Structure 1
Amino acid sequence: MKSVNWIGLVAALVAGQVFGVVWYGNLFSVAWANAMGLTEADFVGQEWRMALGVVNMLLILLALDLAMRRLEVRGWLAGAKLGAFIGLFFGATVSALNYIYAAGPLVLLLIDGGYQVVSYALLGALLSGLRRAPKAE
């Protein structure tokens, strides 16, 4: 835990939560809720789920930070590329299972899968871009 990029992790956690609100709350709220078959009444009393979302993102960030350290990813662009790669080939493919096996609507796959790719790119850029340079010996 000593080598975790805490500055980048906290910045990515905050940015990730804000991005999630913009993506699902502003850009795609109506389309997403319709695709899920939900109404505003379904969200009443569900604020505790937001806390679980923060914990979930914290776990994702710890794993992404570990991957970046192991792969020696440095810089904003390299972090964004690795994040987008992981978002596409891990996050979006897991989201695709709802479309493939649960016969979910295509719009839901595009919204959720797109969120995975774009958010992981953002998280990766912040984690890698805000990493301190290694100390010279």
Structure 2
Amino acid sequence: MIKGVNWVAVAICVVLLEGLGYLWYGVLLSDVWTAAYTEAMGHAPSMANQAVNMSLGIVNTLILVVGLAWVFARLGVNSLAGIGAAVVVWFFFNFTTMSIDFLYLQLPGRLVIMNMGYQLVSYLIAGAILGLLPAKDTAA
């Protein structure tokens, strides 16, 4: 068991972030994202293996949220300061990693920005929830 992680908060985050992903990519930006993807890849996104892709996406989100909760526990984040901490983590790790998609893979800027935007909003939501619902035993 990982100490300092509120598993209820983690579960709430995972559900909310998966819902955000549906809204972001499936409702709000569906046509724009699909067009940018098609332009970059030369074909429309495949709808095959959606169950597998969605399952792996949930696992990815779970890893992200558990890691963020673990970092928060080590830093003693237990308030809305979690939002600021999440932005810092996003910037130093996620932003820089996703920049490679633009810099070296030469994906269109609008596609990278849409993906980075989703990640930033995800970190903000997770940061708020994890900051407000820290584990009871925050001792590492």
Pairwise TM-score range, normalised by the shorter structure: 0.7 to 0.9
Contact 1:9 1:62 in 2 (8 A): yes
1:32 is matched with 33
CA contact (8 A) 1:8 1:126 kept: yes
Task: Tell me the distance in 1 between the aligned counterparts of 2:124 and 2:131.
Answer: 11
**Partner Cα separation in structure 2 for residue 83 and residue 116 of structure 1:** 11
Q: Sequence identity of aligned pairs in percent?
A: 33
C-alpha displacement of 1:89: 2.4
* TM-score normalised by structure 1 residue count: 0.87
Q: Is the 8 A contact 2:101 2:107 kept in 1?
A: yes
Under a length normalisation based on structure 2, what TM-score does the superposition of the two structures give?
A: 0.86
Residue in 1 that maps onto 2:60 = 56
Please tell me whether the aligned partners of residues 5 and 135 of structure 2 are also in contact (alpha carbons under 8 angstroms).
no
8 Å CA contact retained: 1:68, 1:79: yes
SS at match of 2:5: coil
- Name the counterpart of 1:113: 116
2:76 to 42, 59, 72: 72
- Structure 2 CA distance, aligned partners of 1:83 and 1:104? 25
* 1:44-100 CA distance string (max 9 Å, x none): 44221000011111111111011000000111x211111122222211221111111
Q: Quote the offset at 1:22 in angstroms.
A: 0.9
RMSD: 1.8
How many pairs are equivalent?
A: 133
Q: C-alpha displacement at 1:132, in angstroms?
A: 5.0
Structure 2 residue 134 is matched with structure 1 residue 131: yes
In structure 1, stretches of 5+ residues that fail to align are none
Asked if 2 retains the 8 angstrom alpha-carbon contact of 1:86 and 1:117, the reply is no
1:16-45 deviations in Å (ceiling 9; x for gaps)? 1111111111111111111111536x2144
Letter in 2 for 1:78: A
